[in-house]
Amino acid sequence: MNLNQFIPTRPFAPEPRFLWPDGKKCAVMLCFDVDGETTALSEDPALERRRTTMSQCAYGPRVGVPRILGLLKHLEVLGTFFIPSWIVERHPKMTDAVFAAGHEIGAHGHLHEKLSNLSPEEELGVLEKSLGILEKQIGQRPLGYRAPWFEINPGTVDLLAANGFVYNASLMADDVPFIHANGLVEIPGQWLLEDWEQFAFNAEPAWGFIPEDCDKVFRLWWREFEAMRDYGCCFVLTLHPWLSGRPSRVQLLERLIFGIIDTGDAWIATGSEIAAWVKAHPDARREIDFDQEVAS
């Protein structure tokens, strides 16, 4: 069979979903969720005794983050690091190093708590605690929030706006940013562009699957980048340093970011830079949801 016969002769060239700065075709947000030891502790505090499981998670803040910081410096790009405040207290110099390198630090719970398990009062308590610890460590309040496990509650968007956040990066109903009714910017993500599904594995407790080949993962993420660039989308990549800080995966990331830079027309930005652009240019978004007016 000749596969070439299926290549369209008149390719579909959609209008861009969003107009990005300086005529760029798409935006790219590189997110590093530094969950470290809270990956285990938020599942069960008794896992603290499981020294090997805990050490696999601690590899992220101890070895993964320094290695990733080196790569980002080499490539001259900035990332957005969502750090649970328990990790900030346990690894203060790691947190300082991320901030000193110019990267953005966002809130990500205290012990990576699942919001669906919390009452509204508990959710507020965790948010205030994490903000206090982050502010004490880096001297400023974070502007961005990523919910642990990406899952938020019905009241979370208003809670974030009331606590001075500019953006949330937790929902998945779009592939370009939008502005909530209360003014909070949403920068949507997706599970396809996440490293847990590709690389996570622990024998017991059983996490993840057989780790994937980096070449396969490169193809998966690169194809999505190319297509999101064609559609004018916001490519939100979410990586965990205890997974993506391993050597072959850092080289995968190097290959990916280098390819993105090499296109010359992708805007690599932090969450707050993207949110500021969205707030200043509300007409940049192209609505394609037929029921958008009904839904809002």
Q: Considering the complex, what minimum distance in angstroms separates the CB of residue 99 from Zn ion?
A: 19
**Residue closest to 91 by CA, chosen among 136, 130, 36:** 36
Residues near Zn ion (CB under 5 A) are: 33, 35, 148
Q: Considering the complex, what minimum distance in angstroms separates the CB of residue 31 from Zn ion?
A: 10
Return the number of the residue (35 or 186) whose C-beta is nearest Zn ion: 35
| 143, 81 contact by CB (below 8 A) | no
DSSP 42: T
Distance of alpha carbon 283 from its chain centroid, rounded? 25
Return the number of the residue (148 or 177) whose C-beta is nearest Zn ion: 148
Return the number of the residue (142 or 148) whose C-beta is nearest Zn ion: 148
Return the number of the residue (17 or 108) whose C-beta is nearest Zn ion: 108
DSSP 18: B
Q: Considering the complex, what minimum distance in angstroms separates the CB of residue 150 from Zn ion?
A: 8
Return the number of the residue (39 or 272) whose C-beta is nearest Zn ion: 39
Residues 6+ apart with CB under 8 A from 229: 25, 26, 235, 263, 265, 266
Give the DSSP H/E element, type plus range, for residue 167: strand 167-168
First to last CA, the chain: 48
**Residue closest to 35 by CA, chosen among 263, 265, 257, 194:** 194
Query: Helices in the chain by DSSP H: which ranges?
Result: 38-41, 51-59, 65-75, 85-90, 92-100, 120-138, 156-162, 196-199, 214-230, 241-244, 247-263, 271-280, 292-295
Return the number of the residue (87 or 159) whose C-beta is nearest Zn ion: 87
Residue type, 68: I
Q: Considering the complex, what minimum distance in angstroms separates the CB of residue 189 from Zn ion?
A: 12
CA angle 100–21–67, rounded 5-degree value: 30
Q: Considering the complex, what minimum distance in angstroms separates the CB of residue 22 from Zn ion?
A: 32
144-150-156-162 Cα dihedral, nearest 10 degrees? 0
Return the number of the residue (39 or 270) whose C-beta is nearest Zn ion: 39
Q: Considering the complex, what minimum distance in angstroms separates the CB of residue 34 from Zn ion?
A: 8
Q: Considering the complex, what minimum distance in angstroms separates the CB of residue 243 from Zn ion?
A: 11
Return the number of the residue (35 or 104) whose C-beta is nearest Zn ion: 35
Q: Considering the complex, what minimum distance in angstroms separates the CB of residue 123 from Zn ion?
A: 16
